[in-house]
């Protein structure tokens, strides 16, 4: 119960890493506010956390819309009393296409959710933390594509590259006021997004071409990334800010 009496806000919490992160925060004693665009999945998550004795609330949110994000943060503080930790995990892979063929509106959609969404979340999360005066910790969720390119993935990769600059800049601004900001860049993790990738490239390419490049020879579990995120929010990481943690099983060391 290392996070007892604390409050965490997690976006993109309806599945995958976000869902696992919300459950890990709750297991460690924090009250959690969960946000996503799919309200049914959020309601199921809240029910699961409450059934386990935790405290949770859900708020349907499109992180690319400033009004939605502002209402989300207000709801969190009004319902749970404060905001100590924020995990900006909402994101989409979007459409992969050659840069010569990618529609302008698809670029805008991916950057709007992945990068602008993280900016908007930090903007209102940090305001709430600064107003309360007790500091806090923010973790943005990037990807190994925050520093690796991918053919036909220009929008997704650009959005994840931008997370590094966004995180380090916010850390420089907010650290003197007691708010730490870090970035987690997962590798190949068994989430719905990566299951779609496996379907796209085929089992043979996935199993024989991708997995052998991971030192641990397997995809990661969402719970493993959740533990890294909660660590960065906890007092155990009190001297860590502006950094990038890459839980990827050694994937980027091979490439």
Among all residues, which ones are annotated catalytic? 156
Separation CA 73–CA 177 (nearest Å): 19
* Residue among 71, 181, 59, 188 nearest 118 (CA): 181
Separation CA 252–CA 160 (nearest Å): 15
Q: How far is CA 104 from CA 31, 97, 113, 120, 143, in A?
A: 40, 12, 15, 21, 23
Does residue 156 contact residue 149 with C-beta atoms inside 8 Å?
no
| Beta strand extents in the chain (DSSP E only) | 7-11, 31-36, 56-60, 85-88, 136-141, 179-184, 244-245
Q: How many residues does the chain have?
A: 255
* Residue among 221, 220, 201 nearest 209 (CA): 201
Separation CA 144–CA 139 (nearest Å): 15
Does residue 15 contact residue 218 with C-beta atoms inside 8 Å?
no
């Amino acid at each position: 119960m290392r996070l007892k009496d604390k409050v965490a806000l997690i976006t993109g919490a309806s599945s995958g890493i976000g869902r696992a992160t919300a459950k890990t925060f709750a297991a460690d004693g924090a009250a959690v506010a969960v946000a996503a665009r799919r309200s049914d999945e959020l309601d199921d998550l809240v029910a699961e956390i409450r059934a386990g004795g935790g405290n949770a609330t859900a708020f349907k949110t499109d992180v690319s819309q400033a009004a939605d994000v502002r209402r989300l943060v207000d709801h969190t503080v009004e319902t749970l009393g404060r905001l100590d930790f924020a995990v900006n995990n909402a994101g989409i892979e979007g459409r992969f296409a050659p840069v010569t063929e990618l529609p302008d509106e698809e670029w805008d959609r991916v950057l709007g959710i992945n990068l602008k969404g993280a900016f908007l979340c930090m903007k209102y999360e940090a305001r709430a933390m600064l107003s309360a005066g007790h500091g806090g910790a923010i973790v943005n969720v990037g990807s190994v594509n925050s520093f690796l390119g991918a053919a036909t993935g220009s929008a997704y990769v650009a959005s994840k590259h931008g997370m590094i600059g966004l995180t380090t800049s916010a850390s420089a601004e907010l650290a003197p006021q007691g708010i730490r900001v870090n970035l987690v860049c997962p590798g190949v993790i068994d989430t719905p997004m990566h299951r779609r990738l496996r379907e796209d490239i085929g089992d043979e390419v996935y199993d024989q071409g991708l997995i052998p490049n991971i030192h641990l020879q397997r995809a990661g579990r969402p719970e493993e990334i959740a533990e890294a995120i909660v660590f960065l929010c906890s007092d155990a990481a009190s001297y860590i800010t502006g950094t990038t943690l890459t839980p990827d099983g050694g994937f980027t060391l091979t490439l």
